[in-house]
Amino acid sequence: MNVLLAVLWKDLISEWRTRDRMVSMLLFSVLVVVVFHFALPADASQLLQTGAAGLLWVAYVFASILGLNRAFALELENEALSGLALAPADRGWIFLGKAAANTLLLFLVQAATALAFALAFDVGLGAVALRFAVVMALGALGLSSVGTLLAAVAVRTRYREVMLPLLLLPLMIPIVLGAVRASAALLEHGVLPTAELRLLVVADVVFLIVSFVLFEYVLDE
C-alpha cells in the first residue's frame, strides 16, 4: 500500500509541475468536440440525440491513448524504469499506483470535456450529472487499468506511439460498449441500465486483476 501511495503521489506531483499530459489530453478532447460541432449539420438534432454518447466517448478514448502514451515517459529517462522494477515490493502495487494516477487524470479530462460538450451541443447533463460521473469513473478505471499495463509493454518498443493504440483498441471494446450504452440511456431516458453497469464493473475487475498479475513480468522484459 505504501508503494501504491508513493507512486501515485509521485505521478500527481510530476504532472502538477509540468501539466504536459493533462493539457495535451484536454486540448485534444476539446478539439474533437469542436470538430464534431462544425462537422455535424445544423439540423442534426435527432442524430445528436441518439449519437451524443458515442461522440463523447470517441473523444475520451483517443484522449486516454494520448495520455497513456506518456504514462511511463519519465521512468524511461535515465533507466528509471529499471530502478522502479528493483523496488522492494510486489510490482503489482506499482501498477496500481500508476493506474490510479492515470484514472484520476483521465476522469478530470472527461469531466471538463463533458462540460464543453454540453455547452457546444446544448445537451442537458445537469439532471444526470452524478450518474454520468459514475459511468465516466468506471470507464476511466477500465481504460486506465489495461492501458497502464500495455503502456508499460509499448514504452520500450521503437514505435510505441503506434504500438499502444494497436494493442489497446481491441481490448477497449467491452469498456467502450458498456460506457456508450450506459451514457446513451442516461442522456435519452435519464435511466442508468444495470446490464451495462454490470458489464463495466466486471470488465474493470477482470482488467485490474489480470494487469496486477502480469505487471510483474512486464517490468522484467
Can you tell me whether residue 72 is helix, strand or coil? coil
Q: Write out pLDDT tens, residues 159-212.
A: 777 888 888 889 999 999 999 998 888 888 778 888 889 999 999 999 999 998
Rg (CA), the chain: 18
Task: Give Cα separations from 99 to 33, 78, 211 (angstroms).
Answer: 26, 22, 10
As a whole number of angstroms, the distance between CA 193 and CA 185 comes to 7
Q: How many of the other CB atoms lie within 10 Å of CB of 168? A: 22
pLDDT tens-digit series, residues 18-77? 777 888 888 988 888 888 877 776 665 555 656 778 888 888 998 888 888 887 777 766
Listed by start position, the domains of the chain span: 2-218
pTM comes to 0.88
- Residue 82: pLDDT band (50, 70, 90) is low
Cα end-to-end distance, the chain, whole Å:
24
Long-range contacts of 163-166 (CB under 8 A, 24+ apart): 164/65, 164/68, 164/69, 165/65
Specify the pLDDT at position 213: 87
Rounded CA gap, 220 and 44, in Å?
Answer: 52
Nearest CA to 67 out of 98, 44, 89 is that of 98
Q: Are 54 and 188 in contact (CB under 8 A)?
A: no
